[in-house]
Structure 1
Amino acid sequence: KENWTPLDYIEQYIDKDLMKMIADCSNATSLSRSGAPLNASTDEIYHFFGACILMSCVPYPAIRMYWSKTTKLPAITEKFTRDRFFRLRRSLKVLIDDDVPEDLRVCDKFWKVRPFLNRILKGCKSQARPQCVSIDEQMIPFTGACPWRQYLPMKPNPVGMKNFVCATADGIVLDFDIYQGADALLEQVEQPGDLGLGGLVIDRLSQTLHPNTNIYCDRFFTSIQVMEHMMKKQMHVTGTVMKNRVNAAVQKLPTDKTMKKDGRGTSAQVTTEDGKICVVKWYDNKPVLMMSSVHAREPEDNCQRWNKKLKQYVTISRPNIIREFNSKMGGVDLADRMMSYYRMSGRTKKWTLRMLMHFTDLALSNSWLLYRKDLTVCEDDPVVLFQGKKRPVKAVPHVSFRRRANAHLPEMVNMKNAARCRAKGCSGKTRVQCVTCKVFLCLQGDRNCYTAFHT
């Protein structure tokens, strides 16, 4: 987006109206409960969230250390005292409890933070919808008391609130719904039928997607009923699938023992009578079962896999459905990874505060990914985020220029840090530059990108 500052990206999710609402609700609640006015202004709420963001970037073992003589941060201590910070943290509210009717409290377990979630959700829904999205579970880490706390042992943060997320392949969150039970999802889905919990989540998070969108998910969500239901909505689902959900297809496919004997890269497929749904079985280190209404085994390609016995990479055959799934499925995991780098992890027993901090992290992650995506389009370096400088990236010469009989001689450049190799597919660093092309290329015994670039 032209002429946008980094703050403009954040204000898609967290704007001045939201900060003013938090200040007003916090003041009103504090006055009604304790009789002492909080007198929090909109700017002070901004400074509070800014301090929490800075604390996540410069983590200390205890929050009180930010006001210590030896470890204090002036950016925090100059805005408010330690006691004032803790009072704001303790009094933070996004609505006035007495204004919420009893029936809304019963049907929505997260009503205490719902206005804040709705504002973040509005920003997520305002983003452009791509052709391919992924849907997966996300854990909001919290070990205290909460009405809908979950335990998922296979997650990096196994205890917390479960959040179902729809995201793009590059990690931008488009929609989410916090789990409150299947009954809450039934009220948001038209004609649920016998979809099950996974199908209800797919239907709910696909309501803002365009027709002909490809949805990628794991085996928790995938079933034949879900495939048929989404095809009626002109959407296609691809994902891993449990054996007991496709018993008829498993009986027609080769057994695990047979495929293991044939070696890695072996694959087979079966389709429904109408040819709309395909089940593919591929053997890598172990058998993988996939189902899709848009992809199939063909066309196959080759991929590199590590061989433990040979202790080197080997080339094996890979079906098209595997390649598409691997390239499109990791959006939610990427969003989790971006949020985990600088998570607001102050200890608290209040699940409401934990939710506010988590979705602030989500808004910041989305803002950064959108900012970096726009800079990539403009051929700018995303590293210079807050420096206000632009560093143009030198274009790679055309292949016809590289193959001319010019003096493409290498030279060693005396520089402090090695530059990134510009050969396609190489992520190495080098100080060798072509005197004609003016690009850096690897020139080593085991990796000669210089020769490959010019031939």
Structure 2
Amino acid sequence: RWRTEAEPDDGVPQSLTFNPKRAPGVQPPLNMGSPSPGEIFSHFFSAAVFKLLCENTNKNAAKNLERGKKFDWSEVTPGEMQKFVGMLLYMSVLDLPRMSDFWRRESIFHVAFPATVMVRNRFMSILSNLQMSDPEECEENDKKKGSEDYDQFHLVRPLMEMICMNCKSIYHPRQHLAVDERMVRTKARFGIKQYLKGKPTKWGLKFFVLADVNGYIIDFILYKPNRASGKGLSFDIVATLVDKDSLGSGYIIYTNNFFTNPILFRHLRQQGFGACGTYRQGRDGTPTTQENALTKTSPRGSIRWIRDRELLFVKWMDVREVSLCSTVHSVFSGDIVDHYVSGDGAEQKISLLRPTSVTEYNKYMGGVDTSDQMIGTHSVPRKTMRWTVTIFQHLVDIAATNSFIIHTDRCDSMQQNPMTRQRFQEQLTAHLLGVKLKNVPQIPPGQKHLPVPTRSEHTEAHKAGQGRRRCRLCHRSTAWMCEACDVGLCLQPDRNCFWQHHQGHSLQ
């Protein structure tokens, strides 16, 4: 039967000894001094990451050219790829409806800076050919479709594994961790796209995330249908994320009712981990007895509990019934919570008993939600129908957010005031783009608003017509253009469109 908080609990399991593999917190060399945003980010998107992106993107571009696709291409370098990532972060701070709007001219919404870093066509070419895995290996993987050896995520796996490894190496978590789901919005037509009714982002790619209480993402797994073993998907996900070899022992894992499973919690306890989470009624291994259980008429603050060896099942009546399972907490340790209720035309404060597991769950479960909030503040993702680009943009988000958390952690340890998230991302963007943050955009070096021929080399036979452009203002054919604006403009005694364009006038 369910017992009340007044009844003794003689079966409290032995307390865990916290024994992490490394000292919790920021790891060397970032744990010394106050590293800059660019220095922190370079440990996530390292030289090896940029080398991987450049090699595979160049191979993919060459492959697309062989197929007959028409676009201008020169091999992308790590420095240029770094500027490409910087432009994505720039777009996350200065949000415009479409990517092309950052290069729009002749508008009151004109933004001058992006064109000084990278021309639009080059940015779009890199984006359209962006590749995270070797194209030849992808072809070999495609031949395995329908077999157990086929990897559905081969296109993104190399980069995901590198970012996961970097996340683990740069920071070691403290004792309390949370496992939760995350939805990444996408309109791509892909078989793994999920629908979650209770999430703000209802359609998208689903990730399972392990996070510290401060929001730092330690590890993540992209959801794959039909991957569950005989113990269930929730068991497989948590058992994979909570790795004793990399974490150590003595950690306490907090989960929601999707993951909470008595079999899983017992397995974690055997591995040296504690666990606490809300659970669903009727799940295998949870109590089914209704003797002395809570009812809808039970007063707020009522507590009922059952212990099954190391498992403690607790019910607590708040506004509605709350059900938790824990392997590390006692039933009640004197926690009191104040609530305000309306009565007789005025609010009255009442004090309620609260189980220890509820207090600890509320305190430590929000790590993934904290990360989601920070990512949502300045999110990189732009609209795309390619699911691989969606994941790439999300990996940039994870790296930028984890970098900011490391910055705040270092500032706290040095008793300094950290930067705001926006200021941090602005400095990071400036570093990646290779410019100073306080910078007045100028015309690209060596360019001025001067009239130049649309084509300098002509044969004598084609001197009159070859290489001419349409005038931006009168739309007639012209042999003249502006060197800086790169648009055709007439330069005739009776039709000086060049002068009118730069004076901000238009033809009637």
Label 1:95 to 1:269 Cα distance change in 2 as closer, same or farther (>3 A).
same
> What does 1:172-321 correspond to in 2, within 5 Å?
172-183=216-227, 186=229, 194-207=230-243, 208-245=246-283, 249-251=287-289, 254-257=292-295, 260-272=296-308, 274=309, 276-307=310-341, 310-311=346-347, 314-321=350-357
Residue 451 of structure 1 corresponds to none
Label 1:12 to 1:225 Cα distance change in 2 as closer, same or farther (>3 A).
same
> What does 1:284-433 correspond to in 2, within 5 Å?
284-307=318-341, 310-311=346-347, 314-383=350-419
Counterpart CA distance in 2 for 1:37 and 1:7 is 28
Counterpart CA distance in 2 for 1:304 and 1:45 is 54
- Does the CA-based 8 Å contact 1:151-1:159 persist in structure 2? yes
Label 1:256 to 1:143 Cα distance change in 2 as closer, same or farther (>3 A).
farther
Counterpart CA distance in 2 for 1:137 and 1:312 is 37
Deviations 1:253-300 (A, max 9, x none): 63443xx5442111121111x3x1111100000000111010132203
Deviations 1:339-371 (A, max 9, x none): 111112311111110110011101111110111
- Does the CA-based 8 Å contact 1:253-1:269 persist in structure 2? no
Displacement after TM superposition at 1:198 (Å): 0.8
Counterpart CA distance in 2 for 1:84 and 1:306 is 60
Label 1:98 to 1:212 Cα distance change in 2 as closer, same or farther (>3 A).
same
1:40 aligns with 2:83: no
- Does the CA-based 8 Å contact 2:298-2:317 persist in structure 1? no
Equivalent residue in structure 1 for 2:52, among 16, 21, 32 = 21
Instruction: Name the SS for the 1:303 alignment partner.
Output: strand
- Does the CA-based 8 Å contact 2:56-2:135 persist in structure 1? no
Counterpart CA distance in 1 for 2:126 and 2:101 is 17
Displacement after TM superposition at 1:68 (Å): 2.1
Moved more, 29-38 or 46-55: 29-38
Equivalent residue in structure 2 for 1:167, among 196, 211, 217 = 211
Counterpart CA distance in 1 for 2:82 and 2:289 is 60
TM-score by length of 2: 0.70
- Does the CA-based 8 Å contact 1:253-1:281 persist in structure 2? no
Unaligned runs of 5+ in 2: 1-30, 67-71, 428-508
Label 1:298 to 1:45 Cα distance change in 2 as closer, same or farther (>3 A).
same
Residue 162 of structure 2 corresponds to 119
Counterpart CA distance in 2 for 1:41 and 1:155 is 39
Displacement after TM superposition at 1:323 (Å): 0.5
Displacement after TM superposition at 1:314 (Å): 4.0
Counterpart CA distance in 2 for 1:200 and 1:27 is 37
Instruction: Name the SS for the 1:245 alignment partner.
Output: coil
Residue 132 of structure 1 corresponds to 176
Deviations 1:384-424 (A, max 9, x none): 76699xxxxxxxxxxxxxxxxxxxxxxxxxxxxxxxxxxxx
Instruction: Name the SS for the 2:155 alignment partner.
Output: helix
What amino acid is the match of 2:32?
E
Counterpart CA distance in 2 for 1:349 and 1:261 is 51
Displacement after TM superposition at 1:28 (Å): 2.0
Moved more, 164-173 or 21-30: 21-30
Residue 9 of structure 1 corresponds to 40
**RMSD of equivalent CA atoms:** 2.2
Moved more, 242-251 or 263-272: 242-251
Unaligned runs of 5+ in 1: 187-193, 389-455
- Does the CA-based 8 Å contact 1:104-1:111 persist in structure 2? no
Counterpart CA distance in 2 for 1:38 and 1:312 is 71
Displacement after TM superposition at 1:215 (Å): 0.6
Moved more, 313-322 or 96-105: 96-105
Percent identity, aligned pairs only, is 23
What amino acid is the match of 1:24?
E
- Does the CA-based 8 Å contact 1:282-1:319 persist in structure 2? yes
State the number of aligned residues: 376
Moved more, 359-368 or 222-231: 222-231
- Does the CA-based 8 Å contact 1:23-1:42 persist in structure 2? yes
- Does the CA-based 8 Å contact 1:139-1:158 persist in structure 2? yes
Higher relative contact order (CA 8 A, sep 6+): 2
Equivalent residue in structure 2 for 1:151, among 172, 195, 198 = 195
What amino acid is the match of 1:45?
M
Moved more, 203-212 or 34-43: 34-43
Instruction: Name the SS for the 2:305 alignment partner.
Output: strand
Label 1:104 to 1:292 Cα distance change in 2 as closer, same or farther (>3 A).
farther
Displacement after TM superposition at 1:56 (Å): 0.8
1:81 aligns with 2:103: no
TM-score by length of 1: 0.77
- Does the CA-based 8 Å contact 2:53-2:130 persist in structure 1? yes
Counterpart CA distance in 1 for 2:416 and 2:285 is 52
Structure showing greater radius of gyration is: 2
Label 1:313 to 1:19 Cα distance change in 2 as closer, same or farther (>3 A).
farther
Label 1:23 to 1:71 Cα distance change in 2 as closer, same or farther (>3 A).
farther
Deviations 1:415-452 (A, max 9, x none): xxxxxxxxxxxxxxxxxxxxxxxxxxxxxxxxxxxxxx
Deviations 1:33-57 (A, max 9, x none): 2155432222111111111111111
Residue 98 of structure 1 corresponds to 136
Counterpart CA distance in 2 for 1:152 and 1:248 is 25
